[in-house]
Structure 1
């Protein structure tokens, strides 16, 4: 038995002296191919996941900009420069319909040398949803607020007041609740409560 084991060891050593067999080469190529394919698949999946995360970040950033713009303009709606106004009553002229909100806004209410708090001229401003776009309306002119690859499916505006921490619908309230729904590239829901400045 001992003689047989020594013979086996000699044969094993001889196999490496003669090189690799076809089967050994085939197995090593196959194993290398599997490893490379696994690495490529992981890299591809990682890049897809990164693209999805970047897309979601872009949606959140763009939607935050939309919400900020809507919030600022609604908050300023009906604001009167008390130095120019003949009365202290502010009428924002807010009209809320399905998927839209319109209001009066002094677009020159950004402080400048001539008009430190607006010029007292009001434009009709509004936001509404049309064909996947959140549209901004100013005196008959419209512009989309979102990129074509972001699909806005809904805009809901409610007017009300807050009592004991709860929003209660009230057509004369001083709070506007805005909800914007985005369907593509990923479902997202934004909600904002806006206190009117002069009510």
Structure 2
């Protein structure tokens, strides 16, 4: 008897969840502001664009797989080197470009007022770059974000993405004459995103 009751409870729970679950495809895009940690450099301004599928499980929680193209890197990275031709120490400033195809799974929590909190992991697959000495081919990262969702499906988003893998050799870019700048051996991607998304369907 108890087994039958548990069986009916399980069936009722599954049917109830299926009734609540909805899937909406969507598009997202905006500005990307990125740099590389533990190096003297400026932020690189570029863009990101992608698509997603919002799987709404409850009124406040949704799971959102995403596929994004993100242009990242860092500007004005100082490189100190010895010029054999002039036999002197030289400094050049390089703009580093790293472009990824990002596979992300976001957990979205939406309050009744439309305010969202987003968090999830991302796998960044390297498409191309201009790094002279690269360590990690791809990257793993964590994404945190806040957003404001309108009933129309339009959402304004702000996200922070932090890479976890050491992506380049700082020894190649380090400028030893600028000792007051911070240079380290753990150089990771730092990326801020500011943009919009739109989900189709009601």
**Do they fold alike, i.e. is TM over 0.5?**
no
Name whichever structure is richer in helix by fraction. Answer: 1
Q: Which has the higher contact order (CA 8 A, sep 6+)?
A: 2
Report which of the two has the higher share of strand: 2
TM-score normalized with structure 1 length: 0.25
Larger Rg, first or second structure (1 or 2): 1
The TM-score normalised by the length of structure 2 is 0.25
